[in-house]
Amino acid sequence: MNNLDALKSELAGMVEAAADVQALEQVRVSALGKKGHITVLMKDLGQMEPNERKAAGQQLNVLKQEIADLIDARKFELENAGLDVRLAEEKIDITLPTRPESHGTIHPISQTIDELISIFGEMGFVVAEGPDIEEDWYNFTALNIPIDHPARQEHDTFYVNAEKAGERMVLRTHTSPVQIRTMQTQELPIRIIVPGRTYRCDHDATHSPMFHQIEGLVIDEVTHMGHLKGCLIEMCRAFFGVDELPVRFRPSYFPFTEPSAEVDIGCSFEGGTLKIGNFDDWLEILGSGMVNPNVLENCGIDSAKYQGFAFGMGIERMAMLKYGIPDLRTFYDTDMRWLKHYGFQPLDIPSLVGRAGL
């Protein structure tokens, strides 16, 4: 028995003394390996008397287990010590910048169009489109702007060489010709918005030869000016995110609507900066009116039965007002600095239900 105690303390000492995993492995081999001390003693059991063998066997098994446990414990200890050292060595400077990535942005014009689509979409409007190179008839005559109308002068029209129906074709001066195309082809009732490129022969600080408009048209049997007010007030408040935004309708003139109204929103110009909201001043943002019966008749719609409203506004202007962009011309400059600054995150997808406001 004493032999076993001595062996145990000798092996325990060796385990304890093993400085690393390799040394410990050698200890394991010398104790528990094929020719190890304990293995040899186990083999010797066969030569004992059966009654002695049982007791000695039990003692040896206990010793074997104890030594194995000691080795495992020591091994765990040694391995952990190694890991800590390795981890300390593996430290890197995480203040280094990330690998370069480029981040794209969405142009404010696209974003503003998407915002307006999300608002009008909630009100049941669908998006309609039409060509940029347009026939004179669609751009003017059908909209109650005959060839000799003074309003034609105010349009600063671009012409192309092509002719249709005896008139030079134009670059559409507004998105309104899409009203005509829709009324000619689509079944009633109609509720459309038309975002798109428009062109005027004018280039200075506040005019660009190309800009964007969004047009709206509602035609049915009941829609009246009260609905026009309701629709556009909701739109203005949702777009600018100002619940109590004052919206003013004042009489104006457009050949294609009768009565016609220009729409102003409340604002302040104090200190040279524009603020949108319930202040003392007014800012014009869009034109609107009840569709002129002549326009309906030009599209083959019975103006005794059907009526409705139309409106139009400048996309860039809406973007400038909402996002404080000072200069119209910069929209088309493609200056990377501008695009990064005024652009929008790709996943900033406008939705009225996604979060409060746009």
- Which of 8, 37, 53, 164 is close enough to bind another protein by CB under 8 A? 164
| Shortest reach from residue 188's CB to another protein, in Å | 12
- Which of 7, 23, 53, 121 is close enough to bind another protein by CB under 8 A? 121
Give the contacts of 167 (CB within 8 A, at least 6 positions apart).
Answer: 135, 136, 137
Q: Does 193 bind another protein (CB under 8 A)?
A: yes
Q: Measured between alpha carbons, how far apart are the two ends of the chain, in Å?
A: 86
Interactions with another protein, residue window 136-155 (CB under 8 A): 148-151, 153-154
Closest CA relative to residue 246, chosen from 281, 207, 201 = 281
Interactions with another protein, residue window 21-80 (CB under 8 A): none
At 217 the three-state DSSP class reads: strand
Phi-psi region of 187 (alpha: psi -120 to 50; beta: other; left: phi over 0): beta
- Which of 20, 79, 243, 333 is close enough to bind another protein by CB under 8 A? 333
Under a CB-based contact definition with an 8 Å cutoff, are residues 326 and 233 in contact?
A: no
| Shortest reach from residue 264's CB to another protein, in Å | 9
Under a CB-based contact definition with an 8 Å cutoff, are residues 123 and 311 in contact?
A: no
Under a CB-based contact definition with an 8 Å cutoff, are residues 101 and 42 in contact?
A: no
Residues 121, 168: Cα–Cα separation, whole Å: 36
Q: Does 283 bind another protein (CB under 8 A)?
A: no
Q: Does 117 bind another protein (CB under 8 A)?
A: yes
- Which of 250, 305, 329, 341 is close enough to bind another protein by CB under 8 A? 250
Q: Does 127 bind another protein (CB under 8 A)?
A: yes
Under a CB-based contact definition with an 8 Å cutoff, are residues 68 and 32 in contact?
A: yes
Question: How many residues belong to the site for another protein (CB under 8 A)?
Answer: 93
Please, which residue, 35 or 99, has the CB nearer to another protein? 99
| Shortest reach from residue 353's CB to another protein, in Å | 10
Write down the residue that tokens 């609107």 correspond to.
288
Q: Does 233 bind another protein (CB under 8 A)?
A: yes
Q: Does 188 bind another protein (CB under 8 A)?
A: no
Closest CA relative to residue 229, chosen from 249, 204, 253, 254 = 249
- Which of 64, 227, 275, 322 is close enough to bind another protein by CB under 8 A? 227
Q: Could you give the residue ranges of the DSSP H alpha helices within 18-149?
A: 21-32, 37-44, 50-89, 108-122, 136-139
Please, which residue, 85 or 336, has the CB nearer to another protein? 336
- Which of 12, 32, 225, 325 is close enough to bind another protein by CB under 8 A? 225
Give the torsion through C-alpha atoms of 245, 342, 195, 139, to 10 deg.
100
Part in contact with another protein (CB under 8 A); list of ranges 18-26, 62-70, 72-80, 99-107: 99-107
- Which of 46, 50, 226, 272 is close enough to bind another protein by CB under 8 A? 226
Read off the DSSP letter of residue 99: P
| Shortest reach from residue 147's CB to another protein, in Å | 9
Q: Does 162 bind another protein (CB under 8 A)?
A: yes
